[in-house]
């Protein structure tokens, strides 16, 4: 049965319309290294100008819009494109998003709370270290395995090992958010509200990252493993 989901974009649709449909598409553009200034070009035209597989881009963009997966375009090329996209997302969180939140959090802390401020920063740093370990396992074990599988190499690893052990990294950030929301009185509320919005966004972004790994990548690789055995 075909997957029905709306809105659904295709290669002949305008990139500007796609961004207008949901601003959560913007982080995708940066992770696919698509520059702004796309005028009236279509999604297909922009992908080909930037050497991006349009099917991979559409698979992730449509999933972002509606959680629907178009199974007709899950090819080995798309699988490699998804791995590259996930790798770029790891870079984005570690090199940009977490340092950005940390420095805004430091700015927003109130000097009157010198007793608990160090614990808040320590919690955040500990969280980032856990995410780094999570990403590191994917970068050093899971992604190299997928690249080997798709190039026809045999391996003892199976994507099921990843599926069983893959934890929800976004959830742990909600504890910090809840402590600040419920208990942190401050004389600099605007700065702290900005940090909270950033943490909410980051949590959503990490959840979506996890969903792409669990709902698109894992089933896709399982199907390649099965067809490999035939
Ligand atoms: Fe990841
Ligand atoms: Fe992950």
In this structure, is residue 210 part of a structural domain? yes
Are 59 and 151 part of one and the same domain?
A: no
Q: Do 211 and 67 form a contact (C-beta atoms < 8 A)? A: yes
User: Do 151 and 224 reside in the same domain of the chain?
Assistant: yes
Contact indicator for 203, 173 with CB cutoff of 8 Å: yes
Residue 13 alpha carbon to ligand 2 centre in Å: 31
Given this model, what pLDDT does residue 171 score? 74
| Pair 115, 40 in one domain | no
User: Are 41 and 96 found together in one domain?
Assistant: no
Model confidence over 136-187: pLDDT tens digits?
A: 999 999 999 999 999 989 888 999 999 999 988 877 788 888 888 888 888 8
Q: How confident is the model at residue 1 (pLDDT cuts 50, 70, 90)?
A: very low
Pair (177, 108) in one structural domain: yes
User: Is residue 9 domain-resident?
Assistant: no
173 token code pair: 């950030």
Whether pLDDT at 20 is above 70: yes
Q: How confident is the model at residue 24 (pLDDT cuts 50, 70, 90)?
A: confident
Ligand 1 midpoint to CA 213 (Å): 7
- Rounded alpha-carbon distances, angstroms, from residue 29 to 24, 55, 61: 10, 14, 9
Last residue of a domain, which of 39, 71, 103?
Answer: 71
Distance 199 CA to ligand 2 centre (A): 18
pLDDT digits (tens, 9 = 90+) for 106-131: 999 999 988 889 999 999 999 999 99
What tens digit of pLDDT does each residue of 48-84 get?
A: 999 999 999 999 999 988 877 776 666 788 889 999 9
Residue-level pLDDT at 6? 62
**CA gap 9, 17 in Å, rounded:** 9
CA 189–ligand 1 middle distance (angstroms): 33
Place of tokens 């940090």: 195
Are 79 and 66 in a shared domain?
Answer: no
Flag whether 3 is in a domain: no
Do 188 and 145 lie in one domain? The reply is yes
CA of 1 to the centre of ligand 2 (A): 29
Distance 135 CA to ligand 2 centre (A): 6
**The domain boundary residue, chosen from 71, 86, 106:** 71
- Shortest-distance ligand to the CA of residue 162: 2
Range of the domain at 20: 15-71
Question: Does one domain contain both 64 and 102?
Answer: no
The pLDDT score that the predictor gives to residue 154 is 86
Domain identity same for 104 and 190: yes
The pTM is what?
Answer: 0.89
Q: What is the CA radius of gyration of the chain?
A: 20
Q: Give the span between the Cα atoms of 12 and 43, in whole angstroms.
A: 6
């Amino acid at each position: 049965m075909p997957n029905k989901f709306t809105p659904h974009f295709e290669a002949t649709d305008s990139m500007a319309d796609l961004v207008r449909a949901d601003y959560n598409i913007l982080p995708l553009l940066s992770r696919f290294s698509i520059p702004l200034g796309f005028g009236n070009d279509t999604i297909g035209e922009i992908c080909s100008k930037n050497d991006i597989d349009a099917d991979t881009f559409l698979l992730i963009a449509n999933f972002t819009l509606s959680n629907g997966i178009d199974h007709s375009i899950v090819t080995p090329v798309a699988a490699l494109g998804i791995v590259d996209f996930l790798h770029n997302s790891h870079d984005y969180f570690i090199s940009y998003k977490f340092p950005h939140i940390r420095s805004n959090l430091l700015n927003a802390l109130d000097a009157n709370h010198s007793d608990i401020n160090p614990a808040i920063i320590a919690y955040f740093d500990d969280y980032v270290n856990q995410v780094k370990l999570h990403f590191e396992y994917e970068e050093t074990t899971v992604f190299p395995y997928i690249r080997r599988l798709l190039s026809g190499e045999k391996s003892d690893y199976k994507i099921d090992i990843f599926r069983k052990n893959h934890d929800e990294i976004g959830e742990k950030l909600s504890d910090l958010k809840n402590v600040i929301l419920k208990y942190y009185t401050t004389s600099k509320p605007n700065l702290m509200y900005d940090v909270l919005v950033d943490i909410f966004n980051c949590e959503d972004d990490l959840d979506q990252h996890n969903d792409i790994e669990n709902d698109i990548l894992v089933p896709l690789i399982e199907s390649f493993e099965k067809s490999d055995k035939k």
